[in-house]
Structure 1
Amino acid sequence: MTMAKEYRLSAERFEELKQELTYLKTVREKEVAELIKEARSFGDLSENSEYDEAKNEQGKLYSRIAELEEILSNYTIISEQEKNMDIVHVGNTVVVEDLEFSEEETYQIVGSQEADPMNGRISEESPFGRALLGRKAGDEVVVEAPAGNIRYKITAIQR
C-alpha cells in the first residue's frame, strides 16, 4: 500500500486552503448549479454551448474540491521549531550567492502547494529546494539545471 503524499503547509496557507474549500463548496457550487439550470432552460442540450461550458466549469470545480480535500486530509503544519537557524528547513528564507556570476539571490523554501518561483518561493521538492534543505550557511551546493550545474554558496539563513 502506498502512503498518501503528505503536504507541508504553513499555518497561513492551511487557513487559505480551508477558506477556499468552504467557498467552493458553498458559494461557487451554487453559482455553477445555477449556470447549469439556466443553460438547461435554453433547450436542446446537444447544441447548447452554454450547457457544455457550465458542465465543464462544474468539472473544474469538482476537481479543485477533490484536490483541496486531498491536501487537507494529508497535511502537516510547518512548525516554528523547524525554523532552527543553523540549517535550512521548509519555511526559511535562504540567501545564496551564485558563484559563477557572484550575484546574491534570496529564496524562501516552501511546501509544494505554495511554490511560486517567479516570486522567489521555491518548492522543497524542486531540485534547488532539495539541494538547500538541511545545509548550513557557508555550505556550497550544486544544483542540476537544464543549462548545466549551477554552484551556489549559502550566505545566510533567515526565519
Structure 2
Amino acid sequence: MSNVSYLTEAGLKKLKEELHQLETVERPSISAQIAEARDKGDLSENAEYDAAKEAQGLLEMKISKLKNILANSRIIDESKIDTSRVQLLNKVRIRNLKNNAEMTYTLVPESEANLKEGKLSISTPIAKGLLGKEVGDQAEIQVPSGLMTFEIVEISI
C-alpha cells in the first residue's frame, strides 16, 4: 500500500513536468546510448553498454517512483487552510527561546521542500514538533544537535 502524498497545484505541476522530461527526453537519450554501445560489438566486455544499462535502470526506477507519487497524490485546497493551529501549508514564525532568533517557515510536502525559500518539509523533526501547536505555545523539539525550544509567534497562510 502506498502513502498518500499531499501536493499543492504548483507541486503537482512540477512533478508532472519532471515526469514528462524524463519520459520524453531522458529515456530516448539513454536508449540511443544503449544502441550505440551495442553497435560497438562484444557486450560481455563493453563498459559503455553496462553503464548505459545501469543508467536506464535508475531512470526507470525514478520514473516509476514519480508515477507512484502522482497516482497517490491529493491536491490540497489552499482556501480551506486553518491558521488557528500549525498544519501543512501554514507559514509559521517561530522564536528560538535559547538565542531569541526568529525564523519563518512554510510547512510543505516533502517533494516541495526548499530551505533557501523557507519551505520546510513536513517530515522534518522541526515541522513534526510544530504540528498542532497554537500561537503562544512552546514546542520542545529533538534535533540532531540536541533539544531545542521554540515559541510559536505567528501562523498565517
TM-score computed with the length of structure 2 as normaliser: 0.92
- The residue that corresponds to 1:15 in the other structure is 13
- The residue that corresponds to 1:59 in the other structure is 57
Among 110, 116, 132, which residue is 1:112 paired with? Answer: 110
Q: Is contact 1:94–1:108 with CA below 8 Å preserved after alignment?
A: yes
Measure how far apart 1:133 and its partner are.
1.5
- The residue that corresponds to 2:133 in the other structure is 135
Distance 1:30 1:12 in 2: 27
Secondary structure of residue in 2 paired with 1:35:
helix
Q: Is contact 1:82–1:90 with CA below 8 Å preserved after alignment?
A: no
Secondary structure of residue in 2 paired with 1:32:
helix
- The residue that corresponds to 2:151 in the other structure is 153
Measure how far apart 1:119 and its partner are.
4.7
Among 40, 44, 47, which residue is 2:38 paired with? Answer: 40
Measure how far apart 1:49 and its partner are.
1.6
Gaps of 5+ in 1: none
Q: Is contact 1:78–1:90 with CA below 8 Å preserved after alignment?
A: no
Distance 1:118 1:150 in 2: 21
> Cα RMSD (Å) of the superposition?
1.5
Distance 1:127 1:83 in 2: 22
TM-score computed with the length of structure 1 as normaliser: 0.91
Q: Is contact 1:82–1:89 with CA below 8 Å preserved after alignment?
A: no
- The residue that corresponds to 2:97 in the other structure is 99
Measure how far apart 1:116 and its partner are.
3.2
Among 65, 68, 80, which residue is 2:66 paired with? Answer: 68
